[in-house]
Amino acid sequence: MKTVRIFYEKRGRLKFVSHLDMTRFMSRLLAKSKIPVWYTEGFNQHIYMNFALPLSLGFEGLYEILEIRLTDDGYDLNKCLEALKGVAPPDIDFISVDEPVTAMKDIGFATFRLDFDEIDQGLAKSLTDFFESDSVICQKAGKKGKIKEFDIIPKICSYEINGNRLILVVVAGNEDNLNPTLIMNAFFEKTGISPPFYTVSRVAIMDKQGNLFR
């Protein structure tokens, strides 16, 4: 048995497939591809699948990772990739299939790209002021419905405004996560700016050292 990671992009109409639905979708795709995937044992047997990070509904994912296991250690990974490409619907692109480099628990950050129709000077300034502030306290409903307060600023590692794009690197992984929608909602609430339309893409996942997670 051999563990491998599938790297893919999820775009277009597939943005509306939730994380839970992705699990079902991927298992059907894997079944169709006839790759020798490993099934979990026990009463309710299913294909072993481990997604690196869940992706919010409506986001595009340009660096998505799914881990599976192959029952045949010698199975050619290029063949695996070709098999997946052969069954993929239009809005998913399989990029590569590789052996894991870093452990899943070492995921540390994710990079998001937010595309606005226009970031004019005013908006750019407000954004800069916002990200440069010392702290922004947000609320989140924690376990048992308890409201938890926390500061989002330390969780944002970097921001960059590039034309009509805002690039954010935020903490991600098992222990901590920050959703860009939450950041933007806090921004709009704090500044009183009425939210313009924007799209979100997750473009990279990094390990705790800041290297691309593989």
Partner 1 sequence: MDTKKFEALLLSVQKPGRYSGGEIGSVIKDKQEVDVRFAFCFPDTYEIGMSHLGMKILYSQFNSRDDIWCERVFAPWQDFEEVMRRENIPLFALESRDPIKEFDFIGFTLQYEMSYTNVLNMLDLAGLPVRSADRQSLSPLVVAGGPCACNPEPIADFIDLFFLGEGEEVDLELIDLYKKFKAEGKSKKEFLIEAAKIEGVYVPSLYELSYNDDGTVAQITSNNAPATVKKRIIKDLNSAFYPEQLVVPYIEIVHDRVVQEVFRGCIRGCRFCQAGFIYRPVREKSSDTVNRQAKALCENTGYDEISLSSLSTSDYREIEPLLGKLLEWTQDSHISIALPSLRIDNFSDELLEKIKHIRKSGLTFAPEAGTQRLRDVINKNLTEDEILTACKTAFAGGYTAVKLYFMLGLPTETDEDLKGIADLGQKIVNLYYDMPNRPKGKSVSVSISVSTFVPKPFTPFQFEPQIDEQEIRRRQEYLKSCITTKKISLSYHDSATSFLEGVLARGDRRLGAVLEAAFKRGCKFDSWNECFCLEKWLDAFKECEISPEFYANRLRSFDEINPWDHLDYGVTKKFLVCENRLAHEAKTTPNCREKCSGCGAACYGEGVCFENR
Which residues are at the interface with partner 1 (CB under 8 A)? 12-18, 21, 24-25, 27-32, 39, 45, 57-58, 87, 89-91, 197, 199
C-alpha to C-alpha distance for 173 and 157, rounded to whole angstroms:
14
SS3 state at 52: coil
Q: Which is nearer to partner 1, 116 or 159 (CB)?
A: 116
In the complex, what is the shortest distance from the CB of residue 197 to partner 1, in angstroms, rounded to a whole number?
5
Q: Which is nearer to partner 1, 82 or 129 (CB)?
A: 82
Q: Which is nearer to partner 1, 36 or 100 (CB)?
A: 36
In the complex, what is the shortest distance from the CB of residue 141 to partner 1, in angstroms, rounded to a whole number?
19
In the complex, what is the shortest distance from the CB of residue 33 to partner 1, in angstroms, rounded to a whole number?
8
| β-pair partners for 167 | 113, 160
Taking CB atoms within 8 Å and a gap of at least 24, the contacts of 152-160 are: 152/178, 152/182, 152/183, 152/186, 156/131, 156/183, 157/109, 159/127, 159/131
Q: Which is nearer to partner 1, 54 or 142 (CB)?
A: 54
In the complex, what is the shortest distance from the CB of residue 38 to partner 1, in angstroms, rounded to a whole number?
11
In the complex, what is the shortest distance from the CB of residue 78 to partner 1, in angstroms, rounded to a whole number?
22
In the complex, what is the shortest distance from the CB of residue 69 to partner 1, in angstroms, rounded to a whole number?
14
C-alpha to C-alpha distance for 88 and 10, rounded to whole angstroms:
11
Residue linked to tokens 């922004």: 136
The count of other CB atoms within 10 Å of the CB of residue 106 is: 15
Strands 60-70 and 156-162: unpaired
Q: Which is nearer to partner 1, 41 or 149 (CB)?
A: 41
Q: Which is nearer to partner 1, 133 or 199 (CB)?
A: 199
Write phi, then psi, for 49 (nearest 5 degrees).
-145, 135
